[in-house]
Amino acid sequence: MKCLNHFVLLLLLVLAATWAAHAKPDACSANKGTCRPRACCRDEHNRERAIALVGVCQRDEICCSSEVKVKPCMEGKGSCLPLGCCPNDKDTIAIVERTGECGSFAICCLYEAAAAAAAPAAVKSTCSFMESEPMCGTRETGITESTDIRANRWEFPWSVAIFEIRSMASWTFNVFLCGGSVLQDGTIVTTAECVEKQRANVLRVHLGRWNLVAPGREECSQLLSVTKIVLHGGYNPATKENNIALLLTGGIVQWSTSVNHICLPTAERSDTDPCYIVGWDSESTGSVNYMLKFSVRTDETLDECRDSVREHHPSSAYVLSLEHGCASVVDTMDKHYPCARITGSGVVCRSSATGRYYLRGIALYALRNCSLSTINDLFVDVTRYLDWIRDTPRGE
């Protein structure tokens, strides 16, 4: 019986190899089809649309009708596809959907919609790597400040995007979690609420990013793995007290036009220094593509902030303790401002004394929404955690 089982297993392996060797994808395309995994051959109503051809595709694939209609998303810029079915899947950026545009088990794939467009001409890289470590809080000469809410490319080279690697069956994709800021030793500062339930080995830190949904590897970007997550010992998930975390990264950061580290606050800072909240929109709209910045004042008192929060969010669990900061947007917010933004982004200020940027705070989830655009923003006051940041061991 044991020998018979071995024989049957060997026969199945031979048949599988023979099937793969004789697969004829040309026969599938000749019948207006494309070889795809079965899970990826579904239309906008989640119905399978296979062409009845046997042995024309590789094992675990079927001949899928090229005329399958899929649901458009992001105002026609993409198509709703099952998770893992977007072309170049390992580079897929899946923005966490809050509007449910594609449903629970699908993502808006921008590559599918763009596949028919002609490939753009190759652009010569404009970034350069530094031979020595640059000064913190500076950007390369020639990179100007934007005049609206969309930041220029590499205007804030210390801002990073944090992703989680997720898998479904044999497919792997990246999910955007939150923002952060890189320090001199490559450590990332972010919020505890972003990473409290994550495992270090599934996190990736993207440096030098600007357009999160750009197809392929974005110019001059870098990718770091995470070796350890360090939550503040006093973090309270319910009240968001001590909402700060450090990500210890693997590899070496290459300082360049697109990547530099942010300064920590010093005695030279002033309450009149111009400040910005820098990061990405959290909604699944076109504005999620690019890095955004909001000019803010950070001299609001906690009493003012507490009154604002209680007025609009009477049931809010936030406890506005001393480590919280309160910011208010300088410019009038109109329909062009996103309704919300991701957590973990840096609240950075430009020192009037040195001209360099320093990390004033870490942005919490904006309590405002589309109808409450003037409500104050809360942030973690980094000045109260300087000793903790500096004293946290960086080793394993």
pLDDT in tens, 338-384: 556 678 989 999 998 999 999 999 988 665 555 545 566 778 889 99
Note the pLDDT of residue 138.
95
245: nearest Cα among 228, 231, 261: 231
Tokens 């596809």 correspond to 81
Note the pLDDT of residue 268.
72
- The CA-to-CA distance between both ends of the chain, in Å, stands at 51
Note the pLDDT of residue 86.
60
Please report, for residues 128, 137, 254, the alpha-carbon distance to residue 132 in angstroms, rounded to integers and kept in the order given.
12, 15, 10
Rounded to 10 degrees, the C-alpha dihedral 53/54/59/63 comes to 0
Predicted model pTM:
0.69
Residue 79 near residue 72 (C-beta atoms within 8 A): yes
What's the half-sphere exposure (Cβ side, CA atoms, 13 Å) at 334?
Answer: 5
Tokens 């990826």 correspond to 40
Note the pLDDT of residue 96.
44
Regions of the chain where pLDDT drops below 70: 1-25, 37-39, 42-46, 59-60, 67-68, 74-78, 82-126, 168-171, 215-216, 282-289, 295, 297, 299-302, 309-310, 312-322, 328-341, 365-376, 395-396
Q: How many Cβ atoms from other residues are within 10 Å of residue 329's Cβ?
A: 20
150: nearest Cα among 97, 210, 222: 210
Domain ranges in the chain are 17-69, 275-383
Note the pLDDT of residue 50.
76
Structural class in CATH, domain 275-383: mainly beta
- Kind and range of the H or E run holding 308: helix 302-312
Note the pLDDT of residue 83.
55
Render pLDDT for 269-327 as a digit per residue (tens, 0 to 9).
Answer: 777 888 888 888 765 444 445 777 776 767 666 677 777 766 766 555 556 666 777 77
Q: Where are the alpha helices (DSSP H) in the chain?
A: 2-21, 25-30, 110-114, 192-195, 302-312, 386-391
Q: How many Cβ atoms from other residues are within 10 Å of residue 293's Cβ?
A: 21
